[in-house]
Amino acid sequence: KAAFINFISDEEWKSIEPVSSWFGPSSLLMSSMSALFKLSMWIRHGHGYLTENLGIPVWGSYAVFGLATLFLGMVLGLVSEALGTDWGC
């Protein structure tokens, strides 16, 4: 606590280089990281719901999410092919 108070009162913060805009809170990188974190929390809650509320075994929940991942990849691949989009692959 004392070190933080000294950091502020002695104005040591002026010698620190500011964060670049690439790593700023509103940058595309940080917004993407936030979206991935929110997705991971949604998956965690979904796993909990499937195993605790519905009584599906853990391996069953993994199978549901694995199949959902495969299905989503297939749909995105079909949409990409239909639009003629090359994602660099």
- Is residue 78 included in any domain, yes or no? yes
Residue with tokens 């605790």: 52
pLDDT band of 21, cuts 50, 70, 90: confident
DSSP assignment string, 14-77: GGSPPPPGGGSTTSHHHHHHHHHHHHHHHHHHHHHIIIIIS---HHHHHHHHHHHHHHHHHHHH
- Is residue 54 included in any domain, yes or no? yes
pLDDT band of 12, cuts 50, 70, 90: confident
- Give the DSSP letter of residue 3: H
Q: Percent of the chain at pLDDT above 90?
A: 48
- Is residue 47 included in any domain, yes or no? yes
What is the model's pTM? 0.58
Counted domains in the chain: 1
Q: What is the structure's pLDDT at 86?
A: 66
- Is residue 18 included in any domain, yes or no? no
- Is residue 39 included in any domain, yes or no? yes
Cα angle for residues 87, 88, 89 (degrees, 5° grid) = 95
- Is residue 8 included in any domain, yes or no? no
By residue range, what is the domain housing residue 53? 27-85
